[in-house]
């Protein structure tokens, strides 16, 4: 699978189209979630006046001397075509920009076998705990660093954010409820309605109480344990084997 990101000019007032200024991608082994290849290029747009001073100051090459899109189209096609596409908000933005760029040079665009949009995945499985779910907000939440808004850096940050989110969700589905949000470090139990609860046997933490007590009612009958909450699904498209992702 390939995580990618594009930087573009602002939409033109007359046509509303954007020119791709930068393309960055990392090819990732979905079984081990490690980067095995990468590609990055700054792209010279047809209208240099559309390049913002901020972007020109960020890049380490002169945009005017960078290759045009048609000069790097073959390389970009090879990176993207026939792979699982992954990225943040790519379904609403990056995918469209890639297809527009290929259409502008009269060439068929690359096609994915599947798309993993991390914005959609996070909104469904991670919720709003990290705020607005923008990449910069997520990076700050996990202490990864500041978003550089450079294509290759953002693609790598995207993969790292997904790893952190998946790890947290996996722990939440396994540890006792509320443990990761407890203010007491190392707490393994919590009180509810003045009763002390024992951790689930499926917990990652192995706990041996000094004395096990059965909760009894006034009549001496053993009260049944409360039904356990079904764990929320983890990042199924990221954590499972690649054959599941590619199916």
d(CA 205, CA 226): 20
Question: Residue 186: pLDDT above 60?
Answer: no
CB distance 128 to 204 below 8 Å: no
Average pLDDT over residues 50-69: 89
Highest mean pLDDT: which of 35-39, 187-191, 216-220?
A: 35-39
Architecture of the structural domain at 2-172? 2-Layer Sandwich (3.30)
Q: Measure Cα distances from 154 to 17, 82, 135, 189 in Å.
A: 22, 22, 8, 39
| Catalytic residue ranges | 149
pTM score, two decimals?
Answer: 0.71
Whole-angstrom CA distances from 99 to 113, 178, 215 are 15, 45, 63
Indicate the domain borders of the chain: 2-172
- Give residue-wise pLDDT tens across range 143-181: 998 988 899 999 999 999 999 988 988 888 888 877 766
* Strands 84-87 and 114-117, bridge-based pairing: parallel
Query: In this structure, are strands 2-8 and 84-87 parallel, antiparallel, or unpaired?
Result: parallel
- Report the alpha-carbon angle 165-169-175, nearest 5: 140
């Amino acid at each position: 699978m390939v995580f990618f990101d594009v930087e573009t000019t602002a939409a033109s007032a007359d046509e509303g189209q954007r020119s791709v200024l930068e393309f960055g991608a990392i090819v990732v082994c979905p079984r081990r979630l490690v980067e095995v290849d990468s590609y990055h290029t700054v792209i010279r747009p047809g209208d240099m006046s559309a390049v913002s001073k901020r972007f020109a100051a960020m890049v380490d090459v002169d945009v005017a001397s960078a290759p045009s899109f048609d000069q790097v189209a073959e390389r970009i096609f090879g990176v993207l075509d026939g792979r699982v596409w992954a990225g943040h908000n790519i379904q609403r933005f990056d995918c469209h920009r890639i297809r527009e760029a290929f259409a502008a040079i009269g060439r068929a665009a690359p096609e994915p076998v599947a798309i993993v949009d991390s914005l959609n995945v996070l909104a469904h499985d991670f919720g709003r705990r990290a705020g607005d779910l923008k990449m910069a907000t997520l990076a700050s939440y996990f202490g990864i660093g500041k978003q550089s808004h450079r294509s290759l850096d953002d693609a790598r940050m995207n993969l790292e954010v997904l790893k952190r989110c998946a790890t947290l969700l996996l722990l939440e589905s396994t540890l006792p409820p509320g443990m990761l949000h407890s203010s007491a470090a190392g707490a393994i139990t919590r009180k509810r309605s003045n009763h002390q609860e024992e951790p689930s046997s499926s917990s990652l933490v192995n706990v041996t109480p000094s004395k096990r007590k059965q909760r009894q009612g006034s009549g001496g009958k053993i009260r049944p344990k409360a039904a356990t909450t079904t764990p929320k699904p983890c990042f199924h498209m990221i954590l499972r084997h690649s054959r599941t992702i590619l199916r």
